[in-house]
Amino acid sequence: MVDPPATRVAFGACPFCKHGVVWGAPRDHMGECRSCGAQVNRTYVADRLLDKLSKSEKKGTPKQLSRECAKAGIRLPAATIRTWIHQKRLTTDQHGHVTLSGIVPLLRRRAH
């Protein structure tokens, strides 16, 4: 049996060039920029990514925000967001929506 080729995910924007995106295998610590070829540590990219997300005005249901995070290269299951709401670490508005910027501090804590 042959393993399927490893799926590559975007870790985030390259810190060394303007429009580069760092890609790597989902469990890798290091990724490579497709534009300049720089080897970039995933946590470094993730920090910058979280800075960007923390300024986001986006809000939505746990499922929608989980999808937003996936687009940004962060794996955050909707169930985790629901757990945070349940633990009152996140507050929802009257529609049951949470803000993307609100989950960033929790994501940061999870990463360390």
Contact residues for Zn ion, defined by CB under 5 A: 14, 16-17, 20, 33, 35-36, 38
Pull the structure tokens for residue 62.
């746990």
Rounded distance, CA 33 to CA 110, Å? Answer: 25
Determine whether 103 is exposed, middle or buried from the number of CB atoms within 10 Å of its CB (0-12, 13-18, 19+): buried
For 36, phi and psi rounded to 5 degrees? Answer: -110, -5
**Least separation, in Å, of the C-beta of 4 and Zn ion?**
27
Q: Which is nearer to Zn ion, 25 or 79 (CB)?
A: 25
**Least separation, in Å, of the C-beta of 108 and Zn ion?**
24
CB 81 within 8 A of CB 102: no
Residue with tokens 């790597």: 24
Locate all alpha helices (DSSP H) within 1-112, ordered by sequence: 42-54, 62-71, 78-86, 100-111
Q: Which is nearer to Zn ion, 35 or 101 (CB)?
A: 35
**Least separation, in Å, of the C-beta of 21 and Zn ion?**
8
Q: Which is nearer to Zn ion, 43 or 91 (CB)?
A: 43
Q: Which is nearer to Zn ion, 10 or 17 (CB)?
A: 17
**Least separation, in Å, of the C-beta of 86 and Zn ion?**
40
Q: Which residue is nearest to Zn ion (CB)?
A: 20
